A and B are shown apart, each in its own frame.
Chain A
Amino acid sequence: QVQLKESGPGLVQPSQTLSLTCTVSGFSLTSNSVHWVRQPPGKGLEWVGAIWSGGSTDYNSALKSRLSISRDTSKSQVFLKMNSLQTEDTAIYFCTRGGRGYWGQGVMVTVSS
């Protein structure tokens, strides 16, 4: 069955780089896109970006300069890297398959010194 699972550090220091991994199973990354969505505590959902089945990417305009999404199809993994982290980047980060019918459980990332 389709599964997605996010992993990464729970705590990151301000100005540092966040690295998250989304490990998927039950589908192929070369046939499906994967999106990242985040949610600050107590707030709404924000689309972060996506990597498409062909490997191209799209990013949230406000995050574009700090964000990179890539993948390793052999390992069924998608990676999110965001640099120059600030406290406003504190959020639950979700990955979801294109079509968004399947989501990971999310990983909480806190930006704090």
Chain B
Amino acid sequence: DVVLTQTPVAQPVTLGDQASISCRSSQSLVHSNGNTYLEWYLQKPGQSPQLLIYKVSNRFSGVPDRFIGSGSGSDFTLKISRVEPEDLGVYYCFQATHDPNTFGAGTKLELK
């Protein structure tokens, strides 16, 4: 199975700062059809996960442009510029290229 390694485990931030989360895969996430199915989710306490980014860098409907996904192959990054209070929570990367699909272990974005 594909293992997704997220770093850091926790990211203390000051509101208004930039945050960056890394997700590294144990194998390339490029599908045979040429697409890379790497997604990012935010889960706030007591809520269902919410999709932020799909196919590496595409923002889901309604997601602010301060969320930027990038990367290729097996190395991916989510950047959040100008962190706002509603951005706090746990971020997960997820791959849907290979079966079975897998999640990273999560990165908690918290106030410094």
Give the B-binding residues of A (Cβ under 8 A): 35, 37, 44-47, 49-50, 58-61, 94, 96, 99-101, 103-106
CA distance A103 to B43 in the complex (A): 12
A to B CB contacts below 8 Å, 13 in the list: A37-B49, A45-B41, A45-B43, A45-B106, A47-B103, A49-B100, A58-B99, A61-B1, A96-B48, A100-B49, A101-B51, A103-B49, A104-B48
Contact B39 A59 (CB under 8 A): no
Residue in B closest to A98 when the chains form the complex, CB atoms = B96
Return chain A residues, CB-CB under 8 Å to B94. 45, 47, 100
Return chain B residues, CB-CB under 8 Å to A45. 41, 43, 49, 92, 94, 103, 106
6 new A-B contacts, CB < 8 A, other than A100-B51, A101-B61, are: A35-B101, A44-B90, A44-B105, A45-B106, A99-B51, A103-B48
CA distance A104 to B48 in the complex (A): 7
Return chain B residues, CB-CB under 8 Å to A105. 48
Contact A44 B100 (CB under 8 A): no
Given A44-B92, A45-B43, A61-B1, CB of A94 within 8 Å of CB of B100: no
Residue in B closest to A104 when the chains form the complex, CB atoms = B48
Contact B100 A61 (CB under 8 A): yes
Within 8 A of A (CB), among B59-112: 60-61, 90, 92, 94, 99-106
A48 to chain B, nearest CB (A): 9
